[in-house]
Amino acid sequence: MPKKRHGALALLEFENIAAGIQASDLMIKRAPIALLRCGSIHPGRFLILVGGSVASTEEAHSIGVKQGNVQHCLTGEIFLGDVHPHLHDAVLGTRREASGDALAVFETRSSPALLAAVDAAIKSTAVILCEIRLGDDLGGHALALMSGDLTDAETALAVCAERAGNQVRAQALLPRLDTDLREVLQHGTRFGPCPPFEPSGAEYPEEVACSWDG
């Protein structure tokens, strides 16, 4: 869990890196905010995540939006003046256990759209926010996993879809998440660091001698 929670968050997405770096500079010079994360994502876009008091974060957000609009390169933005604590932590890398029976998977075309959708969903339902991924290794898209009972998971997806609008990329509802898959997802959704998992009932072919074994 992050050492300090910020009362408000703002996330801005720019279509090019130069504009994003310039906006970052203007935002941190203008308002006393924490620059939580910034950097390039696929496909050549730039994300800026800032946090702080409601007033300072809103001021920094306004400067970033103005700069993006002047350069016609702002592809998405969101200001969360009353960010849910679990969303705050998830954005900074905290994962929570998918302890509910059902799993809701939600993808958007942009990261700001995902934050807006998920914030609304977890404030209106009892789902657990398990993981948030923004941009990296997703082709610029964003992903959220939410766990709960079937009704809550279904409602959370409906809220997300309504809030994200045309930014929805995909969604899925797993009513009864497989126990083995649940264990794998505890480590996250990235392919590279995913640990191998072989359940006791896994079947293997009989050993066959290969010609190159000599």
pLDDT given for residue 154 in this prediction:
98
Distance CA 59, CA 89 (A): 22
> Looking at the 3D structure of the chain, how many domains does it have?
2
Q: Is residue 214 part of a domain?
A: no
How confident is the model over 102-125, as a mean pLDDT? 97
Whether 208 maps to a domain, the answer reads: no
- 210 is a domain residue: no
- Output the pTM of the full model: 0.87
Q: Residue holding tokens 């890398």?
A: 93
Same domain? 108 vs 46? no
DSSP string over 129-186: EEEEEESTTTTT-EEEEEEE-HHHHHHHHHHHHHHHGGGEEEEEEESS--HHHHHHHT
pLDDT digits (tens, 9 = 90+) for 126-139: 999 999 999 888 89
pLDDT in tens, 24-70: 999 999 999 999 999 999 999 999 999 999 999 999 999 999 999 98
Residues 102 and 164 in one domain: yes
- Find the domain containing 164 and state its range: 95-177
